Amino acid sequence: SILLSAATTTAFTSRNISSRRIANNPTLLLSSTADTPVSTQYDIVKVDLTDGRDYPIYIGSDFTDDEAAALIKPHILGKRVLLITNDNIDKWYLDRYQKLLEGDGKQVDTVVLPDGEEHKTFECMSMVLDRALELGLDRRSTFVALGGGVIGDMVGFASAIYQRGVNFIQIPTTVMAMVDSSVGGKTGVNHPLGKNMVGSFHQPQCVFIDTTTLDTLPDRELKSGISEVVKYGLIRDAPFFEWQEENMTKLL
At 171-228, the pLDDT tens digits run 999 999 998 888 889 999 999 999 999 999 999 999 999 999 999 999 999 888 998 8
Q: Per-residue pLDDT averaged across 57-86, rounded?
A: 96
Return the amino acid letter for 46: K
At 233 the pLDDT is 85
HSE (side-chain half, CA atoms, 13 Å) at 191:
7
**Higher-confidence position of 4 and 142:** 142
Q: Assess whether pLDDT exceeds 60 at residue 252.
A: yes
191-220 per-residue burial string, b: 16 or more CB within 10 A, e: under 16: eeeeeeeebeebbbbbbbbbbebbeebeee
At 9 the pLDDT is 54
Do 12 and 184 contact (CB within 8 A), yes or no?
A: yes
Give the model's confidence band at 51: pLDDT under 50 very low, under 70 low, under 90 confident, else very high: confident
Q: Assess whether pLDDT exceeds 90 at residue 11.
A: no
At 85-134, the pLDDT tens digits run 999 999 999 999 999 999 889 999 999 999 999 999 999 999 999 999 99
